[in-house]
């Protein structure tokens, strides 16, 4: 079919790599932007569904491929132009649509706004997918190479965006991406030797200038209900500094007139208030504070009136480890109680910069003063590598109450609160030392109970026959603090506990020897839920309690690290009946959003897949009968699409445990997967021996299945062995480990496409669309499966999917081959 | 005062003649409006009663205090929202009032007011005036309401609104609520609608022995729980956490 064209015979590989990279970078950046504007889980839903633009493109091209491929140069370039323009314009329009998730219950038309946001954000992905699919169809003899360049470009894009979000604020990064796309318009014009390439280059340059001008006038339209927006309503507050990184967008807020007085969990018996403070918001929410320190110890007395002060009243720890230094509140608390040696760990280097440099004087150099040793690192990884033993390990309250209590973290993996993590902390306690974990109190109780269950399990795994003797749980109306001791609690400590709690009106929920007359005294709940739960979780009725409790509070493990997932379908009807009667907050909304995203994606995909099929059936009725079975094509591309992301997502999680850093782990793993898959794809062209597509695909899939299965067993010990090694070594090992798996994963898709181009070329856009839809469903489904079954199960499912794909590899039914076959 | 000439009087009469039908029409519309709003208000009270029946024991109240419901039946809630939302003012839902703030769901207002357990001669402090609706409901029930609002435009608007509606026993001040209102302390009851990371100690200090403070915990649109601070006759303070909904997390024989 190439004879019809007399334009450039070489595919525009550079521009393909550029737009693939930009599309992936754009996706990650949108996630960042909408996490700032709205909340993370909504960002997740919006971007997941926007990616259906790929599926829409497949459908669109089923109808128009012929016409567009005939004018390939023009249509390829036009789609890049539209992609470039829409990246900035669609975002700008979408962010102006004021959508308030909380109002949906009362005001269903809000959903229309949400729908409008999906549509707008799907447009850029639609255009870029058009450009890529057109290239695949136009240069069908070099499909593997094009797909390879697409994957490698995406892999580089995933690294590029990490750099971009580190050096630029998210809006500028958006504009830079748009300008980069404008550049690829010009590059595409030259690569394709377009007649008007000079004019196009000039136009692209002009476009880039307009974009940078427009970018300078753009502002983030942050939801008025986010913490930062709310704080800015108060007279005399202003944002004095912002920092951006993939870890979050930090806004530093000073308040001139009204003190911030951030002291969560303060006892109702407290008569003291916090000194002046400066607030740091992450993604316009999640406030942490830097507190003024005028070397007046008494100013920090308020920190003695929170539940997290408990361990200091049971003994005087010499060496305290604070996980999550934030603005320094826990360091102040340790210093107030006279801890001579404090090691503090903070993940975000920009937060550290703000506290240590910008507010050095204000905070009296809290992070750098004598006796305080600061490490910028991920908390769990730090402990795992540490050779020290601590008298007290404090796991700080890092997330905000609002987000936590609304169940917004349900989708997030947290490796800080798993059984495996607690075991790591426990092994780093000095004899008699404490692990202290403070959590927000929620009504009805959820995470405190899950944490307690996780602690009991961790102690049992450490061969403790009586976990109850090593646990103390106290609560205020706002926070709970759980103490796990390296050793059994003694009478002296229990007496100190009782004094501490009584003076501050904190309730005891568990200590060894607790009686039911001592509980639920100061902050009275309808029932002494915490005590009842603690007793049940330590006794023989534990499983019955897990089953009967209306929230999911079973312990979390590294393989299923969704600590914030509390939702049970069983309770869903009950809560839905109460939703308009104040029951809505009982719903764990994060999980439901995930489920809703999946349902929407499935419905949209069904439409996008079935719609063009009926059309294609009518137009190519003879071809489909004599070419390949549509059902096989459908399942093959669907299974390959699902499988690819299942493997990718599951292994990203495995490597998070090795690299111990959410950003680095994800970008290293993702980039390795995409780049090695790209290499695999590039090689398929050559490996196509006499056996043809089907055999190569079968070998590739056998390779995927065997490697993935082997890794499920081998990776754990390997990662454990590598934990203490330096980061660069770990990064290289990760890439090396991923390489063979990803290499094989890069093959099935281009092999399938290549087969189609020989047997039924009209199905190529459809297969492209099916794969696009599958990718969207896959990402959501993988998270749901991981929540319920664990990441190992996700890998097992992926292997099954790939095997089923091998079986359904599109076979040519009739001997007569479609035109265009080589 | 200047004398009216005959001509002027005649002109005025003409004006009145011309305006009379319009005036009557306007009065008619106002009456119809008032009637319609009264009906909506009655329906709102029914909705609150129904919610109460469902939640009964969970907020430690068998029935809604009839005085609270009567008060809410008198306050023209539609006057507390923007014009374009007036038609929805009596729905049992929160509504945005601008500045990132909301007017609470009527049921929540009823429960909070009820939990305060106020008497006719009480002095009540409100922290976070917002639209002024909660203050108006309280003003129907107690002798004097003092209300603090940190967002100036909201304070100004609420003050203007409440004086227009004739609530002479509400005093609004623009300012920080953390330290309460020392000058008028102690209070029989305190209601806090503004977000805070903790219960401000000065507010606890300004609560009379036997007094109650109620704080909704949650987001602007969804109240997750109600925190009630109780100071007993000896001045000992304790708290209670209440779900505004019938939900028992634990079933079975635990």
The model's confidence at residue A2, banded by pLDDT at 50, 70 and 90, is very low
The answer on pLDDT for A789 being more than 50 is yes
Angle, alpha carbons A99-A103-A106 (nearest 5°): 135
Contacts of A304 in chain B (CB under 8 A): none
Give pLDDT, residue B1: 40
Residue B219, pLDDT score:
79
- Residue keyed to tokens 């754009």: A26
Is any Cβ of chain B less than 8 angstroms from the Cβ of A574? Answer: yes
- Contact in structure between A229 and A38 (CB atoms under 8 Å): no
Which residue out of B99, B155, B201 would a mutagenesis test of the A interface target, given it has the greatest number of A Cβ atoms within 10 Å?
B201
* pLDDT per residue as tens digits for the range A654-664: 888 888 777 88
Q: Name the band, by pLDDT with cuts 50, 70 and 90, for residue A624.
A: very low
Q: Which residues of A touch B180 (CB under 8 A)?
A: none
Instruction: Report the pLDDT value the prediction gives residue A418, as an integer from 0 to 100.
Output: 94
**Does A516 contact B at CB distance below 8 Å?**
no
In a domain, B52, yes or no: yes
Residues in A touching B100 (Cβ below 8 Å): 224-225, 229-230, 233
The pLDDT value given to residue A329: 92
- H-run or E-run covering A391: strand A390-395
Where residue B179 falls among pLDDT bands split at 50, 70, 90?
Answer: very high
Residue B251 lies in a domain: no
Q: Could you give the domains of chain A?
A: 1-225 (1.20.1250), 293-409+411-551 (3.40.50.150), 588-810 (1.20.1250)
What SS3 string covers chain B? CCCCCHHHHHHHHHHHHHHHHHHHHHHHHHHHHHHHHHHHHHHHHHHHHHHHHHHHHHHCCCCCCHHHHHHHHHCCHHHHCCHHHHHHCCCCCCEEEECCEEECCHHHHHHHHHHHCCCCCCEEEEECCCCCHHHHHHHHHCCEEEEEECCHHHHHHHHHHHHHCCCCCEEEEECCCCCCCHHHCCEEEEEECCCCCCCCHHHHHCEEEEEEEEEEEECCCCEEEEEEEEECCCCCEEEEEECCCCCCCCCCCC
Using the structure block, give the residue that is written with the tokens 């009296």. Answer: A364
Report chain A's mean pLDDT, rounded to a whole number.
Answer: 89
Chain A neighbors of B254, CB-CB under 8 A: 532, 536, 541, 544-545, 548
- Token duo for residue B30: 């106002």
Interface test with A, best of B92, B157, B249 (most A CBs within 10 A): B249
The pLDDT of A611-634, averaged and rounded, is 72
* Token pair recorded at residue A793: 């199960």
pLDDT at B13 over 90: no
Q: Over the stretch A262-305, which tens digit does the pLDDT of each residue have?
A: 998 899 999 988 999 999 999 998 889 999 999 899 999 999 99
Confidence of residue A629 (pLDDT cuts 50, 70, 90): confident
CA–CA distance, A647 with A738 (Å, rounded to integer):
11
Q: Which of B193, B250, B252, B253 to mutate to test the interface with A (most CBs of A within 10 A)?
A: B250
- pLDDT, residue A222, reads 92
Mean pLDDT, residues A119-139: 94
- Where does A364-435 have alpha helices with state H? 379-385, 401-405, 419-427
B19 vs chain A: nearest CA distance in angstroms? 41
Give, in order, the Cα–Cα distances in Å from A678 to each of A21, A151, A168. 13, 5, 29
Residue with tokens 């189609």: A756
Q: What is residue B56's predicted lDDT score, i.e. its pLDDT?
A: 59
Q: Higher model confidence: residue A610 or residue A131?
A: A131
Nearest CB partner across the interface for B238, out of A230, A442, A522: A522
A694 vs A808: CA distance, rounded Å:
10
- What CA–CA distance (Å, rounded) separates A94 from A118? 8
Q: Count of domains in chain B?
A: 1
More confident call, A401 vs B187: B187
Helix A40-50 with A764-789: angle, nearest 10 deg: 150
DSSP structural state of residue A580 = G
Over range A733-746, report the average pLDDT. Answer: 94
Q: Which structure tokens are listed for A142?
A: 């070099």
- The contacts of residue A67 (CB under 8 Å, 6+ apart) are none
Asked if the structure places residue B227 within a domain, the reply is: yes
- The reply to whether B9 falls in a domain is no
How close are the terminal C-alpha atoms of chain B, in Å?
Answer: 84
A81-89 average pLDDT score: 95
| Whole-number pLDDT of residue A689 | 53
Q: Which two tokens stand for residue A103?
A: 């109002």
Q: How many CB atoms lie within 10 A of CB A490?
A: 14
Q: Min CA distance, A503 vs chain B (Å)?
A: 12
Q: Is a pLDDT exceeding 70 seen at residue A820?
A: no
Average pLDDT over residues B10-21: 64
Among the residue ranges A356-360, A414-418, A772-776, B6-10, the one predicted with the least confidence is B6-10
Q: How confident is the model at residue B59, as a pLDDT?
A: 58
Q: Say what the pLDDT of residue A815 is.
A: 42
A230, A525, A585 member nearest B224 (Cβ): A585
**A636 to A301, A695, A773, A814, B236: CA distances (angstroms):** 65, 14, 13, 19, 70
CA A535 to chain centre: 35
Rounded to a whole number of angstroms, the distance from the CA of A579 to the nearest CA of chain B is 9
Question: Which domain CATH number covers B107?
Answer: 3.40.50.150
- Alpha-carbon distance of A444 to A574, in angstroms, equals 14
Say what the pLDDT of residue B70 is: 94
Which sign, positive or negative, has the C-alpha torsion A333, A335, A339, A341? positive
B225 touches A: beta carbon within 8 Å: yes
Residue whose entry in the numeric block shows the structure tokens 């699919």:
A133
Chain A hits for B105, Cβ within 8 Å: 582
Is B218 within the bounds of a domain? yes
A332-366 pLDDT, tens digit each: 999 999 999 999 999 899 999 999 999 999 999 99
End-to-end CA distance of chain A: 10
Assigned domain for B2 exists: no
Residue B20 lies in a domain: no
Per-residue pLDDT at B2 exceeds 80: no
- Chain B residues 99-138 within an 8 A CB cutoff of chain A: 99-101, 105, 107-108
pLDDT for res A622:
52
- Average pLDDT value for residue range A647-670: 86
Q: What is the pLDDT of residue A373?
A: 96
Residue A75: pLDDT over 80: yes
- Domain range for B56 is 36-242
Question: Is pLDDT of A746 > 50?
Answer: yes
Q: Which of B197, B211, B242, B246 to mutate to test the interface with A (most CBs of A within 10 A)?
A: B197
Residue predicted with more confidence, B205 or B49:
B205
pLDDT at A124 over 60: yes
Contact B245 A583 (CB under 8 A): yes
ipTM: 0.86
State whether B197 and A272 contact (CB < 8 Å).
no
B220/A270 CB distance under 8 A = no
Which residue has tokens 């068998």? Answer: B62
Residues pairing with B172 in the sheet:
B147
Chain segment A415-444, per-residue pLDDT in tens: 889 999 999 999 999 999 999 999 998 888
Size of interface A-B (CB pairs under 8 A): 169
Determine the pLDDT at residue A688: 63
- Quick one: pLDDT at residue A3? 38
Matching residue, tokens 């007046």: A296
Strand partners, B125: B146, B190
Q: How far apart are CA A77 and CA A74, in angstroms?
A: 5
Question: Is the Cβ pair B237, A100 closer than 8 Å?
Answer: no
Question: Residue B246 and residue A578: Cβ atoms within 8 Å?
Answer: yes
B62, part of any domain: yes
Query: Which residues from chain B sit within 8 angstroms of residue A525, using beta carbons?
Result: 240-241
Opening angle at CA A561, ends A560 and A562, nearest 5: 100
Q: Contact A532/B254, CB-based, under 8 Å? A: yes
Q: How far does B14 lie from chain A, in Å, by closest CA?
A: 49
Three-state SS sequence of A771-810:
HHHHHHHHHHHHHHHHHHHCHHHHHHHHHHHHHHHHHCCC
Q: CB distance from B221 to chain A under 8 Å?
A: yes
- pLDDT reported for residue B11: 65
Report chain B residues whose CB lies below 8 A from the CB of A585. 218-219, 222-225
**Mean pLDDT on B128-148:** 96
CB B181 within 8 A of CB B173: yes
**Token pair recorded at residue B7:** 């001509």
* B60 confidence band (pLDDT: 50, 70, 90): low
A235-254, pLDDT tens digit by residue? 899 999 999 988 889 999 99
pLDDT for position B134: 96
**B168 pLDDT more than 80:** yes
- Of A6-15, A479-488, B3-12, which range is least confident? B3-12
pLDDT on residue A406: 52
Looking only at the bridges linking them, the beta strands covering A479-485 and A471-475 are antiparallel
Whether the CB-CB separation of A193 and A8 falls below 8 Å is answered with yes
pLDDT at A819: 40
Identified catalytic residue from B104, B131, B147, B197: B104
Lowest mean pLDDT among A310-314, A657-661, A677-681: A657-661
Share of chain A above pLDDT 90, in %: 61
The pLDDT of residue B24 is: 65
Q: Which chain A residues are Cβ-neighbours of B108 within 8 angstroms?
A: 582
Our answer to whether residue B163 is catalytic in this structure is no
- A445·B249 Cβ contact <8 A: yes
């Amino acid at each position: 079919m190439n004879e019809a064209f007399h334009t450039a015979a070489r595919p525009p590989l550079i521009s393909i790599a550029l737009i693939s990279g930009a599309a992936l970078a754009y996706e990650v950046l949108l996630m960042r932007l909408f996490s700032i504007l709205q909340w993370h889980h909504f960002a997740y839903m919006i971007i997941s569904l926007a990616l259906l633009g790929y599926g829409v493109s497949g459908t669109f091209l089923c109808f128009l491929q012929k016409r567009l491929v005939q004018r390939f140069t023009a249509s390829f370039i036009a789609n890049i132009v539209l992609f470039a323009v829409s990246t900035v314009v669609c975002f700008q329009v979408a962010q102006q649509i004021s959508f308030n998730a909380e109002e949906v219950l009362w005001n269903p038309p809000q959903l229309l706004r949400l729908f409008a946001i999906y549509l707008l954000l799907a447009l850029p992905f639609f255009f870029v997918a058009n450009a890529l699919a057109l290239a695949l169809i136009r240069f069908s003899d070099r499909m593997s190479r094009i797909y390879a360049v697409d994957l490698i470009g995406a892999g580089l894009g995933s690294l590029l965006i990490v750099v971009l979000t580190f050096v630029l604020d998210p809006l500028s990064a958006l504009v830079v991406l748009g300008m980069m796309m404008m550049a690829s318009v010009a590059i595409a014009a030259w690569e394709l030797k377009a007649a008007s390439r000079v004019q196009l280059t000039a136009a692209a340059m002009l476009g880039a200038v307009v974009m940078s001008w427009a970018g300078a006038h753009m502002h983030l339209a942050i939801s008025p209900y986010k913490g930062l927006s709310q704080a800015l309503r108060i007279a005399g507050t202003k944002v004095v500094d912002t920092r951006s990184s993939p870890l979050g967008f930090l806004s530093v807020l000073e308040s001139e007139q009204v003190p911030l007085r951030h002291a969560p969990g303060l006892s109702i018996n407290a008569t003291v208030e916090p000194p002046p403070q400066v607030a740091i918001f992450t993604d316009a929410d999640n406030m942490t504070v830097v507190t003024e320190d005028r070397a007046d110890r008494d100013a920090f007395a308020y920190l003695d009136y929170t539940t997290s002060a408990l361990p200091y009243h049971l003994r005087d720890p010499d060496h305290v480890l604070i996980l999550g230094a934030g603005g320094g509140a826990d360091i102040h608390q340790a210093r107030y109680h006279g801890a001579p040696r404090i090691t503090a760990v903070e993940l975000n280097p920009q937060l550290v910069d703000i506290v240590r440099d910008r507010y050095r004087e204000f905070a009296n150099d809290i992070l750098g003063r004598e006796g305080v040793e600061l490490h910028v690192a991920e908390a769990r990884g730090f402990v795992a590598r540490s050779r020290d033993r601590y008298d007290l390990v404090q796991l700080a309250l890092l997330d905000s109450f609002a987000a936590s209590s609304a169940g917004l973290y349900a989708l997030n993996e947290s490796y800080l609160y798993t059984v495996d993590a607690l075991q790591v902390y426990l092994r780093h306690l000095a004899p008699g030392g404490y692990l202290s974990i403070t959590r927000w109190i929620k009504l009805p109780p959820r995470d405190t109970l899950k944490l307690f269950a996780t602690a009991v399990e961790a102690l049992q795994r450490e061969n403790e026959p009586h976990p109850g003797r090593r646990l103390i749980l106290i609560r205020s109306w706002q926070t709970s603090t759980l103490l796990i001791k390296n050793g059994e609690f003694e009478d002296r400590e229990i007496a100190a506990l009782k004094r501490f709690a009584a003076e501050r009106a904190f309730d005891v929920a568990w200590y060894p020897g607790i009686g039911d007359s001592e509980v639920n005294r100061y902050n009275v709940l309808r029932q002494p839920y915490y005590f009842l739960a603690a007793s049940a979780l330590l006794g023989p009725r534990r499983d019955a309690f897990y089953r009967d409790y209306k929230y999911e509070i079973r312990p979390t493990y590294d393989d299923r690290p969704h600590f914030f997932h509390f939702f049970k379908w069983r309770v869903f009807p009950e809560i839905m009946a109460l939703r308009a009667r104040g029951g809505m907050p009982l719903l764990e909304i994060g999980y439901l959003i995930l489920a809703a995203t999946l349902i929407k994606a499935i419905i949209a995909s069904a439409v996008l897949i079935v719609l063009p099929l009926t059309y294609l059936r009518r137009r190519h009725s003879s071809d489909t009968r004599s070419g390949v079975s549509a059902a096989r094509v459908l399942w093959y591309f669907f299974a390959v699409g699902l499988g690819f992301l299942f493997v990718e997502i599951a292994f990203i999680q495995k490597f998070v445990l090795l690299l111990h850093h959410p950003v680095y782990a994800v970008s290293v793993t993702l980039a390795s997967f995409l780049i090695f898959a790209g290499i695999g794809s590039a090689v398929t062209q050559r490996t196509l021996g006499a056996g043809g597509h089907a055999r190569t695909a079968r070998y590739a899939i056998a390779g995927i299945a065997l490697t993935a299965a082997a890794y499920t067993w081998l990776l754990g010990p390997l990662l454990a062995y590598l934990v203490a090694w330096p980061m660069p070594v770990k990064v290289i090992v990760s890439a090396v480990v991923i390489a063979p798996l990803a290499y094989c994963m890069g093959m099935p898709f281009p092999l399938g496409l290549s087969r189609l181009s020989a047997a039924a070329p009209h199905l190529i856009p459809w297969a492209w669309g099916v794969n696009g839809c599958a990718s969207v469903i896959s990402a959501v489904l993988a998270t749901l499966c991981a929540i319920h079954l664990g990441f190992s199960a996700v890998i097992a499912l992926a292997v099954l999917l790939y095997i089923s794909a091998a079986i359904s590899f599109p076979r040519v039914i009739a001997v007569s081959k479609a035109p265009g076959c080589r | 005062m200047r004398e009216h000439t005959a001509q002027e009087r005649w002109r005025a009469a003409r004006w009145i003649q011309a305006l009379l039908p319009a005036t009557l029409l306007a009065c008619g519309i106002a009456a119809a409006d008032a009637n319609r709003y009264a009906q909506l208000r009655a329906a709102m009270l029914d909705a609150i009663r129904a919610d109460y029946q469902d939640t009964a024991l969970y907020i430690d109240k068998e029935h809604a205090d009839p005085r609270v419901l009567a008060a809410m039946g008198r306050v023209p809630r539609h006057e507390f929202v923007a014009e374009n939302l007036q038609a929805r003012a009596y729905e049992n839902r929160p509504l945005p009032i601008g500045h990132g703030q909301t007017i609470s769901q009527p049921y929540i207002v009823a429960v909070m007011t009820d939990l305060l357990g106020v008497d006719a001669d009480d002095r009540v402090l409100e922290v976070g005036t917002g639209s002024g609706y909660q203050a108006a409901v309280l003003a129907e029930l107690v002798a004097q309401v003092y209300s603090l609002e940190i967002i100036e435009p909201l304070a100004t608007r609420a003050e203007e609104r409440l004086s227009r509606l004739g609530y002479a026993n509400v005093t609004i001040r623009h300012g920080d609520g953390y330290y309460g209102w020392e000058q008028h302390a102690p209070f029989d009851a305190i209601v806090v609608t503004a977000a805070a990371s903790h219960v401000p100690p000065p507010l606890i200090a300004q609560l009379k022995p036997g007094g109650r403070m109620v704080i909704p915990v949650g987001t602007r649109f969804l109240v997750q729980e109600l925190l009630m601070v109780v100071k007993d006759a000896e001045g000992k303070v304790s708290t209670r956490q209440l779900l505004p909904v019938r939900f028992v997390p634990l079933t079975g024989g635990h």
